[in-house]
A and B are shown apart, each in its own frame.
Chain A
Amino acid sequence: MTISDIKNILDCMVLCGEDRLGTDINTADGADMMSDVLAFASEHGVLLTGLVNSQVVRTAEMMDITCIIFVRGKTPDQSIIDLAGNCGIVIMKTREKMFSACGKLYEAGMRSGASGT
């Protein structure tokens, strides 16, 4: 599915990368610990997180993650949005909680990537 599909499913607000909503996404990971993301997330996927700081963007950058979604309506600072803009990462936020956000994407056919790749 595309980032645009995900946006509709989770009723997201796009904070950065509006021009890249057509990008295809095949995998998703949900985590508040960036340690876990660095150990298990797969590339070119979407990361759902309740953690809001600059290292979420840095982690996504290193992992080649395409899109970050902040759950529970959390809003990052402009500096975090700018950082993602420079890295070419799409940022969205949703009012959904982590569990329901992951559940809705799973229901729509989204899966985790092969872990540890």
Chain B
Amino acid sequence: MSAIELKYAIPGDDFTRAGEASSSIKMRLKQMGFDPCFIRRVAIAVYEGEINMVIHANGGEIVVNISPASTDITLTDDGPGIPDVELAMKAGFSTAPENVRNLGFGAGMGLPNMKKYTDEMDIQSEVGVGTTVRMKVYANAT
């Protein structure tokens, strides 16, 4: 298997459709025969990131690079940015408004969860410019 790249534009105004990209990525990984535990880790991390882009950043773009050894995920948006990334990474920190909580999100668990399920994670963010989250999951990691 050679490396492949998948790209998705994530609309920011459609909560109902959020998760379509993550679902498609998960399906591709399944078709490629990866281990279910690995696929689950990638799927959860991408989905948390996709939801974040929809609820905090008015959408963005997901690029996934799949190779036999690892999957690289890059989430880019031109939303409001994160003023204090270290604080945002803390479990329980959330700026999500009431309407987002009524939809079942906004517990401040997403970023810590993305870190938990991936092997590498890096956040670059500038207020007023946008946010880029990069994650890597190794296929043979346990």
Contact = CB atoms under 8 A, between A and B. Distances in A.
Interface of A: 32-36, 38-39, 43, 51, 53-56, 58-59, 61-64, 79, 87, 116
Interface string B104-118: 111111101100100
The 4 closest A-B pairs by CB, nearest first: A58-B19, A35-B107, A34-B104, A62-B43
Interface of B: 15-19, 22-23, 26, 36, 40, 43-44, 47-48, 51, 101, 103-110, 112-113, 116
A107 B30 CA distance: 36
Q: Which secondary structure characterizes the binding site on chain A?
A: helix
Contacts, number: 71
A35 B22 contact: no
Contact of B104 (A51, A63, A79): A51
27 contacts: A32-B104, A33-B101, A34-B104, A35-B106, A35-B108, A35-B109, A36-B109, A38-B47, A38-B48, A39-B109, A39-B112, A51-B103, A54-B19, A55-B15, A55-B18, A55-B104, A58-B18, A58-B19, A59-B19, A59-B104, A61-B19, A61-B23, A61-B26, A62-B40, A62-B44, A63-B44, A64-B40
